Chains A and B, each alone.
Chain A
Amino acid sequence: MILELLNQFMPAEVAFYVELVIIAVVYLGVFALLGLFLVWMERRVAGFFQLRLGPNRRGPSGLFQTVADALKLVSKELTATEGRDKFLHGIAPYFVIVAALMALSLIPFSAELQAFDINLGVFFVTAVTSIEVVGIFLAGWASNNKYSLIGGMRSGIQMISYELSIGMTIVTMTVLAGTIQLSEIVEMQRGGWFIWTGHIPAFIGFMVFMIAGTAESNRTPFDLVEAESELGAGFHSEYSGMGFAYFFLAEFVNMFIISAMAVTLFFGGWLLPFEIGADIPFVGAIIFVVKTLSVVFLMMWFRWTFPRLRIDQLLTLEWKYLIPISMVNIVVMAILVWLGLTF
């Protein structure tokens, strides 16, 4: 669409690359704004749950507070520990942020608004996010700090374990959808959202997905990666200024990505029930963002409701409960699809 616009006043070859650059810049902007908005939302929601106000001075409802915070972080002096591995310490945040950015490019905001509609879809998202663990490991190790190291190791164990049940849930929904291309998954839900058409296994799948997704994005109650009372700030204790900001942004954008995946897989992406207003362009994007933000709100709700798990409880939950449940769930879903018992 942008391509057609550009083709009018420049040669096709140049227009193609200009389009790539424009999309990249737009996504970088969206990435930064999304991170800032989610941080603001987290603080307001936290305030709401604790019967206080939260940031409310800068801008309408304190909306510009996080912008000011980001500016403060950018202007801060970069400090670092002695004896750190300079190269690895410097490069670690980029693994995390690039992985999050690449995953964001696959999110189908609406039928028109998806940067990279590869037929691998969901599989590519999991592939890209699996790189993130490397960044966290390296950040923990290269900081030359025992708390960072423990945080990094915990995070590695946690993310690798919970990636499994996320993968299993995605397989379950793939059995129902018959495709793993994100835009096609949404199109398959025109007749009804998967959480309705897949009924019992889809609902179990959604619960497993939300638990595992919360763990995957290192949020409370699974935030023992950065358990403040034990580990300082965990793997990013030794980061200051922009390095810290990168990790922080990536964490919030990951939360958005997990929620967006949940919306795509279970709640019909950009579609409303009974196809209300389904084909008006760009309304889909608004619907999608609203849905995603409600799932994000659910994750923030978790944060202020459940106490933090111990590391052994965390691993027990994953290996003894979630993985068997999701494995059985795949079989149940396969049988339902085979017998045609889906709605």
Chain B
Amino acid sequence: MESIVFYIIALIMVTFAVMSVSSRNIMRSIVYLLFVMIGLSGVYFMLDFSFLGAVQLVVYAGGVIILYITSIMLIEKIGESMDKPKLLQQIIAAVITSLGAGVTLFAIYSYNFNMVADINNITTVEDVGFALLNYGENGYILPFEIISMLLLAAMVGAIVIAKSGKSTNSNELKN
């Protein structure tokens, strides 16, 4: 039963991934991409990594896709279909993507996956929390802190970029 569900999800994901890159309407591509993201979180839930699945939903489906939609709405001609690319571009893209697919498939098939003995070992939120803030062995406090510094730097950078150039009159904004 699990494998049936997996194949259904996988089929949906592959179909929508192909549709997402081949669609001529940019808004529809985004929605197809959203389906791929939701499918991926479904796979995580199937694997009982529910934390990762929920993070996938929040970050990708709820965050990144909405960021894409808002930024796409700033582009002109969103509703119209895009032009077909030139033949040379198509060939180059086909070669590069098949190379990428080849590398990925090679990596997957040459890697020796360890079978997890204890399937019922579900990763709970507590485990994730303890691992993130643990400075002992198998603790992730350092990457956690570095990522939070990185995010802070990105936020400060975004504010600096947004503020530079136009110096708006603060009185004007107030009313």
Q: Which residues of A contact B (CB under 8 A)?
A: 83, 85, 87-88, 91, 118-120, 123-124, 126-128, 130-131, 133-134, 137-138, 141-142, 144, 153, 156, 160, 179-180
Contact = CB atoms under 8 A, between A and B. Distances in A.
B79 interface: yes
Contacts of A137: 66, 69-70
B31 interface: yes
Given A119-B124, A119-B125, A133 B28 contact: no
B58 interface: yes
Contacts, number: 71
Interface string B46-77: 00001100110110011101100110010000
B57 A138 contact: no
Contact of A134 (B50, B69, B73, B126): B69
A123 B66 contact: no
Contact of B61 (A85, A87, A134, A144): A134
A131 B38 CA distance: 10
A90 to B, nearest CB: 11
Interface residues of B, number: 25
A87 B58 CA distance: 24
B63 to A, nearest CB: 7
B58 A130 contact: yes
Q: Could you tell me the dominant secondary structure of chain B's interface residues?
A: helix
Given A134-B65, A156-B66, 4 more contacts: A83-B79, A119-B124, A133-B62, A134-B61
Contacts of B124: 119
B69 A124 contact: no
B125 A180 contact: yes
B27 interface: yes
12 contacts: A83-B79, A118-B50, A119-B50, A123-B51, A124-B54, A131-B62, A134-B31, A134-B62, A134-B65, A137-B70, A141-B69, A142-B27
